[in-house]
Amino acid sequence: MVVIVVEVVSGIGSGDNKSNDIQPPPPPQPPQQHAPLAVGKSSSSKVTVRLAEEEDCKEDIRRTCKDARNNFAILECLQNERRDLREVLNDKCNHFVWGYKMNLTQSGRIEELARDVCENELQQHSECMQSGSGSKIPGHTISCMTEQLDHIKDERCRQYLLRLAAIVFSDYRYIKSMVEDCRDDIDRLQCGRLRSGAVGQQQEGSQVNHSQGYTIECLTTQVHKLTPQCQKEILRLAELQSDDFHLDRPLFFACRDDREKFCENIRSGDGRVYRCLMKHKMDRRMSKECSDQLTRRQQLTVQDYKANRGLVRACRAAITKYQCRRHSADDSHQVKLSKILLCLEKAVRDGEVLDGSCREEMLEHRKQLMADHQLSPNLVSACNKELTENCARVGETGERTLHCLMKLARSRKTISEQCWMELEMVVKETDAGEDWRVDPVLHEACLSVVESACKDIRGGNARVMRCLMRHLSSPEMPDTCEAALLEIQYFISRDWKLDPQLHTACFNDASRLCHAKRDWADTTQNSNNPQRGAQVLPCLFRHAYHPKDTLRLDPVCLQEVQRVMHERAAYVELHPEIEMACMEPLARLCSHDTGPGEEMRCLQTNLESLEGECRSAVTNYTEAEAKDSKLNSQLTIHCSKAITQMCGGDSQSSGDDDTLMDCLIRHKNVEAMRPYKKCRAVIEDFQLVALKDYTFSPKFKEACQGDVATLCSKPKNKADVVECLSAAVREAVLKQTSHQVSRECRQQLRQQLIQRHENIKFDPALQKGCAKDISSFCASVTSGRGAVLECLRNHRAQLSSPCHGLIFVREQEELQDPGTDVVLMSACRQMRQLFCHDSDSDQLLYCLRDNKDQPNFNSNCRLVVVRRLVEQTTDARLDPQLLNSCRKDLGKFCSKHFDKLNTNATELNGVLTECLRKQLPSRKLSLSCRKKMLLITRSSALNYKMDPVLTQICSNDMKVLCADETESHMEECLKLALEQGRIKEEGCSIHLAHIIESQRADIHSDPLLNKACGIDDNKFCSNKEEGYHLACLMDVLDRNPQGLQAECRETLRKRREMYNTAMKLTNIASIGELVGHVSRSSERTYLLLVLASVVGIIFIGGLFCGRATKRYKILKNR
């Protein structure tokens, strides 16, 4: 056998040979045909070859490698000079050098040289001496020792191996196993095709392409298309090349200039140059050739993590400890990067602490996957249509391609399910939600925000992502940052595990309550898998406020669930359970609502038109929003200052007696809220939404759900529930029966009535029933603060019947519980604190009435109180105190009118009060009723408007006779006119006569007389019973007129004359007066019916009695 012996020098350099700036040549042409060097011929001779002295090569070598002193140095020089040696060597020399290297690698001589240099290391790694069968295989020792580079301590051996490997790995034909395993793939993928035919056979030396690594490069770019045997060889080679970028010849030549530019001071070895170049891959100054080669290298790493020496070295211990190669064959070289990353991230999620260098390597690889979509071949294949049609303009580097696809998914445009799933898988593999630095687009867009708003927050564990989410709606948030952040969050929201803090806090609860899988790294793509966030997070949220303690979340988990829901509140797309169910309504109803929180508010506004799962999902979220105001993004954005100022920050939201929304509703009309108009609008928007279902008011629901089930059958919305319960309360008050509505429910109902009375928009029935009346009388009145309701009350007499009936019901609600009267409470807030701070709500109006004449009583409050008292006199149903005091008397003396309380939909205009007033002189009323009627009589004397009968039947006489009189003197003016015979309306005269008669019952019911004779009353009649004081004074007037004060004496005389006049009108002296009284009476039909009945009875009785007497007379005459 003829063996070519290589002269080897003992001094081994570093092997780090940097070349001048030379761009890679175009694809080379094959060398001229020459017979290959004889290999395998039988001969015992030994020939020593010196390349520098070879006749065909010495001139080219002297010109190119003049400083090289031996064959090894010459080979290294030629290796690093040009990728295509034909550019520096003539054809004969080119072929000779190729044959020399071929014999060197195939003969096994190169292995012998390695054994000489690395004798000690080989003894420690005996597996590299021979194959498992004991026969020597060319290249085995070099490959094996290269794999063990991390464990080789002899630097001389290490560098020598790297230099030998650079020669061996420069051409696939130098690697016998690759030639055998990849021959078919080379032909099929045309990775070795020349002008004369296919290559790959050693006997066709004339067709050899001597471009370093061309065939290997071609195979590596299509590694996913290779047969398993060839793929294994290619990936094994990639692993061996991972230590030094010199070993990857195409990359070495493509990136030589870029290495000088970006990594000049980086020493080769341990993958350091690779790592440096990767960091600058997206730099615009990097050449496209180098970027393409780095991408090819990254694609190999994606297929086999060992193709990256830095990751292997940094994470070897962790990969072994956490069994990240589990389920892979022991000799497999195809453990994908994604499997390793997911395994290591799972360890971190489980609380394990990884080495810092390993975490750094993981971060770098996650960045690379996010920066270039081409590193995810499954994604490229699945999303080919989307990439071509929608993301073709993003750029060749693909730095923004992933975000283009994310934007497409988020915008609800058509995207195939397979593409969506692969996109989701990339986000999971990169764990993009864990560290904002992973995503280069997000990093670039949000750097300014992070440096200003999150500068003190360390990266990792989603800390910066949380900070960015908190500032999502802040002014300093750029649109580009917001868009990139939401595109990432869109996918994070669909897998609860991608939020590290949520996963850590809720791992046990998710497994216990929601059947979530315990394996974080599980990559199951089943959309119905309950471990995915689209189902798990809503499940956790449903258990956040569960009534059963055993089904409630752990406090730590609850806090994290609330945090996540608060962060995502403004965006429907971050609530997959809503978005997936409501795709069609969102497109149909909410296409123009694109701002934060607007889509959710649109769905809530159109809740009645939603159906099925969408309606259920929106209803559930709105219920949760009512319990936790921070889920209302608009409230958070526009009301933060108002909350701090008026509700003590967040403290109110956690109290048992109040909620943040309740606080804001109470304060929305105060002066301090005026600067926050948008906040008030948000509050009222929520109130409108809450009207759609009483469950949207948590405290109301909790307090009243039993009452609703009992009293209100199938209510359509909260407005129906409020009306139903309010009617039940009114009926109980009217009939003086025990309340069917529980005390707790009545307290919450009161809050709902306040809201209903405050704004016409919160009273759908009144808004609909009074639409025309509002347009006619209150068109210029702004809604809110009870203004529209007050306007309608002021026009009561002019309202349509349906509207009048509704207004009367609202008056009953407010006068039965003045605490629900928004106008009264607003005008009398200070007076209530001053005079009535210890009064119950239902007694508030009476307290204010008793104090309204105090000197320091607010005039605005007095006006409102008087208006309410005037309204109260129009019907007993508006005066609970009158009903309580006079119920028996009404049934006894006014039963016919009393029965009308159950049938009349509007006021009886003082009929019951007038009926009771007529009984005052006879002293037949009960004590409590008598006191109440005397008070009413006195009040009407001070303000004629509190006598609705007088106002109605004496209106003409008022205008003619007393036009200039004040409210307090109107009645006195009319009484004087009656005495003087100037009253024209007979009905008015009769009513005035009854007033005068009723005032005789007690001196206190006649304000003028009480004022004139108060001193004399105390002097002469202090020991008299109530009701007899006036008679006492009249007796003093008769017996001792001079004993009285002049004013009192004169007033008593005038009153006596007035009483005489009244008696003439009220006492019937003749048949004519009787007929006149009957004809003028409003009950003349009833009186005539009674009279006719009496006459009829007498007539019938006469008939029977007449017959009997006639028979008796006949019998007597016999």
What are the φ and ψ backbone dihedral angles of 988, each rounded to 5 degrees? Answer: -65, -40
Question: What string of H, E and C letters represents the secondary structure of 248-266?
Answer: CHHHHHHCHHHHHHHCCCC
Determine contact, residues 986/953, Cβ cutoff 8 Å: no
- Least reliable range by pLDDT among 131-135, 179-183, 416-420: 131-135
- Tell me, what DSSP letter sits at residue 407? H
Model pLDDT for residues 52-69, shown as the tens digit of each residue:
888 888 888 888 888 887
Q: Is the pLDDT of residue 138 over 70?
A: no
The predicted structure's pLDDT at residue 171? 65
Q: Is the pLDDT of residue 195 over 60?
A: no
Q: Would you state the structure tokens that stand for residue 347, as one six-digit string? A: 């360890």
Model pLDDT for residues 782-801, shown as the tens digit of each residue:
988 899 999 999 999 999 99
- Least reliable range by pLDDT among 252-256, 688-692, 850-854: 252-256
Start-to-end C-alpha separation, the chain:
185
Mean pLDDT of 483-500: 90
Mean pLDDT of 888-899: 89
Which among 794, 866, 864, 789 is positioned nearest to 828, based on CA atoms? 864
Q: Is the pLDDT of residue 635 over 70?
A: yes
- Give the CA dihedral 405, 410, 416, 420, nearest 10 degrees: 70
Q: Is the pLDDT of residue 710 over 50?
A: yes
The predicted structure's pLDDT at residue 1082? 47
Chain center to CA of 51: 76
Model pLDDT for residues 907-925, shown as the tens digit of each residue:
988 999 999 998 888 888 9
Q: Would you state the structure tokens that stand for residue 201, as one six-digit string? A: 């056979």
The predicted structure's pLDDT at residue 238? 84
d(CA 798, CA 179): 104
Average pLDDT score over the chain: 82
- pLDDT grade for 1108, boundaries at 50, 70 and 90: low
- pLDDT grade for 868, boundaries at 50, 70 and 90: very high
Mean pLDDT of 253-280: 88
The predicted structure's pLDDT at residue 84? 67
Mean pLDDT of 819-839: 93
The predicted structure's pLDDT at residue 327? 63
Which among 425, 424, 446, 423 is positioned nearest to 435, based on CA atoms? 446
The predicted structure's pLDDT at residue 321? 92
Q: Is the pLDDT of residue 372 over 70?
A: yes
Q: Is the pLDDT of residue 7 over 50?
A: no
Which among 492, 500, 484 is positioned nearest to 434, based on CA atoms? 500
Residues, the chain = 1118
Q: Is the pLDDT of residue 202 over 50?
A: no
What are the φ and ψ backbone dihedral angles of 5, each rounded to 5 degrees? Answer: -100, 130
d(CA 707, CA 748): 12
- Least reliable range by pLDDT among 103-112, 154-163, 1002-1011, 1051-1060: 103-112
Which among 105, 143, 164, 151 is positioned nearest to 125, based on CA atoms? 151
Q: Is the pLDDT of residue 352 over 70?
A: yes
Determine contact, residues 1088/1082, Cβ cutoff 8 Å: no
- pLDDT grade for 211, boundaries at 50, 70 and 90: low
d(CA 103, CA 37): 8
The predicted structure's pLDDT at residue 534? 66
Report, in angstroms and rounded to the nearest whole number, the Rg of the chain calculated over CA atoms. Answer: 51
Buried b (16+ CB within 10 A) or exposed e, 980-997: eeebeeeebbbbbbbbbb
Q: Is the pLDDT of residue 1 over 80?
A: no
> 4: which strand partners?
47
The predicted structure's pLDDT at residue 1116? 59
Mean pLDDT of 534-546: 85
Q: Is the pLDDT of residue 985 over 80?
A: yes
Q: Would you state the structure tokens that stand for residue 1043, as one six-digit string? A: 């004993």
Q: Is the pLDDT of residue 871 over 80?
A: yes
Determine contact, residues 787/793, Cβ cutoff 8 Å: no
Q: Is the pLDDT of residue 747 over 70?
A: yes
The full set of domain ranges for the chain reads 3-247, 308-360, 880-1067, 1083-1117
What are the φ and ψ backbone dihedral angles of 526, each rounded to 5 degrees? Answer: -70, 120
Percent of the chain residues past pLDDT 90, beyond the cut: 37
Determine contact, residues 337/305, Cβ cutoff 8 Å: yes
Q: Is 883 exposed, middle or buried (0-12, 13-18, 19+ CB in 10 A)?
A: buried
The predicted structure's pLDDT at residue 38? 35
The predicted structure's pLDDT at residue 823? 95
Model pLDDT for residues 678-707, shown as the tens digit of each residue:
999 999 999 999 999 998 998 999 999 999
- Least reliable range by pLDDT among 441-455, 518-532, 1015-1029: 518-532
The predicted structure's pLDDT at residue 707? 94
The predicted structure's pLDDT at residue 533? 52
The predicted structure's pLDDT at residue 802? 94
Residue whose pair of structure tokens reads 């006649």 in the numeric block? 1006
The predicted structure's pLDDT at residue 523? 60
Q: Is the pLDDT of residue 1118 over 60?
A: no
Buried b (16+ CB within 10 A) or exposed e, 30-40: bbeebebbeee
The predicted structure's pLDDT at residue 101? 76
Q: Is the pLDDT of residue 481 over 80?
A: yes
Neighbours of 59 (CB within 10 A): 12
> 5: which strand partners?
48
Q: Is 84 helix (H, G, I), strand (E, B) or coil?
A: strand
* Alpha-helix residue ranges (DSSP H) falling in 918-1028: 927-942, 948-953, 955-961, 970-979, 986-999, 1007-1020
> 46: which strand partners?
3
The predicted structure's pLDDT at residue 106? 67
Q: Which residue has the higher pLDDT, 1105 or 936?
A: 936
Determine contact, residues 973/988, Cβ cutoff 8 Å: no
Q: Is the pLDDT of residue 374 over 90?
A: no
Residues in CB range of 632: below 8 A, 6 or more apart: 569, 597, 625, 682, 686
d(CA 673, CA 975): 51
- pLDDT grade for 349, boundaries at 50, 70 and 90: confident
Chain center to CA of 719: 25
d(CA 459, CA 574): 23
Quote the pTM value: 0.71
What are the φ and ψ backbone dihedral angles of 194, each rounded to 5 degrees? Answer: -115, -170
The predicted structure's pLDDT at residue 30? 35
Task: Rank 49-58, 90-99, 387-396, 568-577 by mean pLDDT and report only the highest.
Answer: 568-577
Q: Which residue has the higher pLDDT, 22 or 435?
A: 435
Q: Which residue has the higher pLDDT, 744 or 144?
A: 744
Task: Rank 216-225, 240-249, 840-849, 1093-1102 by mean pLDDT and report only the highest.
Answer: 840-849
Helix 401-410 × helix 417-430 angle, to 10°: 120
The predicted structure's pLDDT at residue 15? 40
Q: Is the pLDDT of residue 885 over 90?
A: yes
Q: Would you state the structure tokens that stand for residue 800, as one six-digit string? A: 């349509």
Q: Is the pLDDT of residue 807 over 90?
A: yes
Task: Please report, for residues 88, 405, 573, 583, 831, the alpha-carbon distance to residue 413 in angstroms, rounded to integers and kept in the order given.
Answer: 56, 10, 13, 11, 61
> 197: which strand partners?
194
Q: Is the pLDDT of residue 650 over 50?
A: no
Task: Please report, for residues 402, 409, 613, the alpha-carbon distance to residue 417 in angstroms, rounded to integers and kept in the order given.
Answer: 16, 10, 21
Amino acid occupying residue 480: T
d(CA 236, CA 225): 16
Q: Would you state the structure tokens that stand for residue 436, as one six-digit string? A: 């904002």
Mean pLDDT of 977-995: 91
Task: Rank 110-119, 539-548, 972-981 by mean pLDDT and report only the highest.
Answer: 972-981
